[in-house]
Amino acid sequence: MSTVEVQKPLNYFRVAWQSALAAGLCLGLPAGLLLWLILFQEINHSAVIEQSVTLLQANGVNKIIVLAVCSLMWSFLLGRISGYRPWWKTGFATVLGIIIGWFSPLSNLDGWFGDRLPVHTLYAISMCGLVWIVTVCVGLAYGLILRNGKAALRMAFTTSLVSVLTLVLTIILFDQFGIRVGTGNFAMSKVTVASLLASAITGGMVLGVEFSRFVREKKYQSSALS
């Protein structure tokens, strides 16, 4: 049985908005789940929310586990969107990319500068490093499961570029409204949840389109050889 589902000509608009929505729900929201809960806790002091915050704060690994599990849903949805049937392969690639990126030295770039820069600048550098390395790792992993070096490099480059640019623009936008990390009033939580969600949406959109295009290309190549 072919691993690629036969489809009509690729509808890029459909792939783009579906990938953006799936990435926002399955990657962007879970990535900032702890901070979302902290913000909600200020609005509604619920025992359930408080227990969830305590659980996620107890161990940093818990946050990664939540994101990894949710990323499997993203991989399943991406498989439906792109027509790539063995979604568990992209699931494994996504989880592996997240774990490698999360524990990479590049995810802690702020530590390289010490106290020589303002808090909000160190925060931006740290977030850019984390988002960049995770998206690069995931893009490369997706290319590897397609056995396509060009796809790996292109998905890694385009996804990371768009994700980081979105992240930076979101931080700048919040700064224009006086919401800057280090100024209190849960500024870091607000900026982080918004920037992670926005970068997941735009990065997921680009990744979904690129992955679907290369899946379609692989299908045509397989048909030509058969």
Nearest to 189 by CA among 24, 42, 15, 11: 42
Phi, psi of 223 (to 5 degrees): -65, -35
Question: E strand or H helix at 47, and its extent?
Answer: helix 47-58
**pLDDT (average), residues 181-205:** 94
What pLDDT is attached to residue 2?
Answer: 45
The 10s digit of each residue's pLDDT in 126-137 is: 899 999 999 999
What pLDDT is attached to residue 110?
Answer: 63
Side chain identity at 78, as an amino acid letter? L
Q: Which residues contact 14 (CB under 8 A, 6 or more apart)?
A: 81
The 10s digit of each residue's pLDDT in 140-173 is: 999 999 999 999 999 999 999 999 999 999 999 9
- Residues 142 and 71: beta-carbon distance below 8 Å: no
Q: pLDDT tier at 32 (50, 70, 90 boundaries)?
A: very high
Phi, psi of 98 (to 5 degrees): -65, -45
Task: Tell me the HSE value of 128 on the side-chain side, using a 13 A CA sphere.
Answer: 18
pLDDT beyond 70 at 223: no
What pLDDT is attached to residue 103?
Answer: 82
- Calculate Rg over the CA atoms of the chain: 18
Per-residue tokens: 180: 């800057």
- Residues 53 and 41: beta-carbon distance below 8 Å: yes
Q: pTM of the prediction?
A: 0.89
**Across the chain, what does the average pLDDT equal?**
88
Question: E strand or H helix at 130, and its extent?
Answer: helix 119-145
